Chain A
Amino acid sequence: MESLKRAWLWFDDRTGLGSALGPIIKHPVPPNSASWFYVFGSATLFAFILQVATGVTLAFMYVPSAGEAYQSLQYITDQTTFGRIVRGMHNWGASAMILLIGVHMVRVYMTASYKFPREMHWISGVVLWALTVIMAFSGQVIRWDQTAVWSTIVASEQAGRIPFIGTWVADFLIGGETIGGATLSRMFAYHVFIVPALLFLFIGLHLYLVIRNGISEFPKAGKVVDPKTYRKEYEDLVKKKGIPFWPDAAWRDMVFGFIVITTILLIALIIGPPSLGPPPNPSNLDALPVPDWYFVFYFAFLALMPPAMETYLMVFGPLLVGALLFFLPFISNKGERSPLRRPWAVAIVALTIASVSGLWAIGITSPWSPHFDAKPLTVQIIGADSGPIYRGGMDFNEKGCLYCHTISGHGGLRGPDLTYIGDRLSADELTWRIMNGGLNMPGFGGTLTNNELSDLVIFLKSRTKKNH
C-alpha cells in the first residue's frame, strides 16, 4: 500500500496530472444541480463509452466487405465466445444512447439551460444529437442484411430529392449508382472513422464548456437570466454554496449510469442482438424493410405525408427542425428558465412527444402496407364450399383484395374492414367501387372477368351481421 502511494506521488510529481485534473473533477457546482434531473447527459456519455468499447470489439471480428460482412455477422453471433453478447450490447447500447440523448435534450430545453452563457453547450449538443442519429442509421446499415440494403436505397432516394445536387449526394452515399462492393466499405468508414472522430471532437467541446461555464443551477420560477449580471451571480452562488462535483453531485450520475449499463447488459444477455434478416441480395424482392424501432416514427412519417408536399417535407422538414434546434439559443437566451413560467416550451415538448408517439404507434402496425403474409379466408369464414359465394371468397384471396382488406380478422389494414360490407353497400355500389377503385384503391376493371366480378360482389353482399 505504502509503495503504491509512493509510486503515485512520483507519477503525479512528474506528470502533474493529479493537480491538473483534481480541481476539474472537484469543481464547485450549484447545490441544487445535484439532482436526479441532471443525470441524463452523463448517462449518454456512459452509453457512448460502451458503444466505443463494444464497437472496437466487434471490429476485431467483423469483415467490412460487401460480399462477406453477412457471414462475419453470423460468425460473430453464433460461433465466437461472447460475440453474441457484445453484438447485443452494441445494439441495445445504441438504443439507450438515442433514448438518453433525447431525454437529456428535453431536460435541457425544459430547464432552459441553453440560455446565456450556455448557448454553445446547446449548439454543440445539437451537433452531437445529429451525429448520434447518423451513427444509429449507419450502424443498422452495416448490419449488412436484406433490410440494410433496402434501408440504404431508401436513404439515398431521400437524398436524391435534394434540389439540383440530389443525384450526386445519393451516389456519394452509396459509392456509385447501384448497391455493390463499394457501398459497405463507405458505410463502414462513415460509421467507424468519420462520425466517431466528430463525436469525440464535439463531446470534448461539450464537456470543456460545462467546465468553463459551469453546470446550470436548477431553475426557480421568477429568477430570470440577465446576461449583464448572470456570470457574477453564478460565481457568487458556487463560491458561497457550491458543493464539489466529485463526489457530492457525481454519485447520482454513477448510480444512474450503473443502472443504464446493467440494463443494457441484461437485455443483451436475455434478448440478445437483433436477428439477421436474409442475405443482402438486392435481387431478392421478398423483403419487408422496416428500420430499427427508433426510426419507425420517421418511417410512418414518410408513408403518411401528403404526396404533393413530400419532396419539401422530406428535404426541408429535417433541415427546418435542425435549424430551429440549432438557432434556439438565439431566439431566446435570457429571461425565465423555469418550465412553470414557460408554458410554450412545455406545450412544444408535449406536442413533440405526442406526435412522435402517435407516428410510432401507427408505424408499428403500418396499416398503409399491404399484408403479403395475411392468412387467406377459410371455407368457414367464406361460409360455402362451392357456388358463387365460395368462388367470390377465393377470388378475394387470390386477386389481392386480402392484402388490404380484412374480413373476420383475416387480411390487411390498408382499406376498410369488409366483415359487414354487405350491410353498407348495394351490389351496384360494390361493382362500381371494385371496377373504378378510388380513395387510394386501384381499379380492378381491367383485371377481373365478368364472372369473377359478379362472384366477388355476391360474396361481399353475403358479408352481413345476419349471416355472421
Chain B
Amino acid sequence: MSEKTKMSEECSRRQFFTHISITLGSIAAVMVGIPIVGSIIAPIVNKPKPIWRPVGELKGFTVGDIVKVSFIDSSPLPWAGVTAETAAWLHRQGQEEFTAFSVNCAHLGCPVRWVAGAKLFMCPCHGGVYYEDGSVAAGPPPRGLYKYPVRVHNGQVEILTSPIPITTV
C-alpha cells in the first residue's frame, strides 16, 4: 500500500469517526431537548379555560358605584397562596347592567385606583388617568382600560377570569 492511499484511508476513517460522533451527540441533544425546552415553553401554549367566578350578590352592589371585587384566577395552583387572587373594578350602571374594568393600567400594567371624589381611575406608576367609562383622561396609556366579561347569574354577579391584559403593538 502506498503512503498516499494510506493517508486518504486514514482521513476517511477519521472523517467517519468525526461525523458519527457529532451526529450521535446532536441526536442525543435534540432527543432530550424536546421535553426540556417543551416543558419550559409550555405556558405559552397551554391556556387555562376561563371560568365564571362569582364576586358577590347582585343586591350587594349599588347602582352608580364603582367598587373593587376580588376573585380567584382560572387555574390556581395549590401553592399559589395569595398570588392566585386577582381583582377588577366593578361598575353597576343599571338593574343588571355591569362593567368590569381590568385593574391593570393599559400603559404598563400597574394597579389603577378608583378615586371616587374625582370620578377618575388613577395609576400610581407613570401617571395614567382614566374617566369613569374607562377612557383615557391623561398620561401615557395608549388606550382605555380593558374590560372583563361580566354577567348576572342566579342573583350573583360573575366575572369571567381573563389573562392580564397585555397591550401589544
**Distance to closest chain B CB from A179 (angstroms):** 5
Contact indicator A400/B142 (Cβ below 8 Å): no
Q: Say yes or no for A288: interface residue by CB 8 A criterion.
A: yes
Residues of A within 8 A of B126 (CB): 299, 302-303, 368-369
Contact indicator B140/A178 (Cβ below 8 Å): no
Residues of A within 8 A of B168 (CB): 160-161, 166-167
Residues of B within 8 A of A176 (CB): 43, 48, 75
Contact indicator B127/A161 (Cβ below 8 Å): no
Q: Say yes or no for B153: interface residue by CB 8 A criterion.
A: no
Contact indicator A153/B104 (Cβ below 8 Å): yes
Q: Say yes or no for A388: interface residue by CB 8 A criterion.
A: no
Encoded as 1 (CB less than 8 Å from any A CB) or 0, chain B from 85 to 101 comes to: 11100000000000000
Closest B residue by C-beta to A179? B83
A170-B166, A180-B76 given; A283·B87 CB < 8 A: yes
Number of interface residues of B (CB under 8 A): 60
The secondary-structure label for the interface of chain B is loop
Encoded as 1 (CB less than 8 Å from any B CB) or 0, chain A from 150 to 181 comes to: 10011011101111001110111011111111
Contact indicator A154/B76 (Cβ below 8 Å): no
How far, in angstroms, from A406 to B83 measured CA to CA in the complex? 37
Contact indicator A282/B78 (Cβ below 8 Å): no
Q: Say yes or no for A10: interface residue by CB 8 A criterion.
A: no
A67-B82, A302-B108 given; A447·B118 CB < 8 A: yes
Contact indicator B164/A68 (Cβ below 8 Å): no
How far, in angstroms, from A150 to B122 measured CA to CA in the complex? 15
Q: Say yes or no for A297: interface residue by CB 8 A criterion.
A: no
Closest B residue by C-beta to A158? B108
**Distance to closest chain B CB from A159 (angstroms):** 8
Closest A residue by C-beta to B115? A400
How far, in angstroms, from A414 to B118 measured CA to CA in the complex? 15
How far, in angstroms, from A406 to B50 measured CA to CA in the complex? 45
Task: Tell me which of A167, A285, A311, A444 contacts B113 (CB under 8 A).
Answer: A285
Task: Tell me which of A166, A179, A285, A442 contacts B129 (CB under 8 A).
Answer: A442
Contact indicator A66/B111 (Cβ below 8 Å): no
Contact indicator A399/B124 (Cβ below 8 Å): no
Contact indicator A180/B84 (Cβ below 8 Å): yes
Q: Say yes or no for A289: interface residue by CB 8 A criterion.
A: yes
Contact indicator B73/A178 (Cβ below 8 Å): yes
Residues of B within 8 A of A447 (CB): 118-120
How far, in angstroms, from A348 to B129 measured CA to CA in the complex? 36
How far, in angstroms, from A440 to B127 measured CA to CA in the complex? 9
Residues of B within 8 A of A343 (CB): none
Contact indicator B127/A283 (Cβ below 8 Å): no
Q: Say yes or no for B109: interface residue by CB 8 A criterion.
A: yes
Residues of A within 8 A of B118 (CB): 399-401, 403, 442, 444, 447
Q: Provide 9 A-B residue pairs closer than 8 Å at the C-beta atoms, listed in order of the A residue.
A: A68-B79, A154-B109, A156-B166, A157-B166, A161-B168, A174-B164, A287-B111, A440-B127, A441-B138
The 8 tightest CB contacts between A and B, nearest first, are A67-B81, A400-B118, A181-B77, A177-B163, A442-B137, A181-B80, A160-B166, A368-B127
- B interface vs A, CB < 8 Å? 41, 43-44, 47-48, 68, 70-71, 73-87, 103-104, 107-113, 115, 117-120, 122-127, 129, 131-132, 137-142, 161-164, 166-169
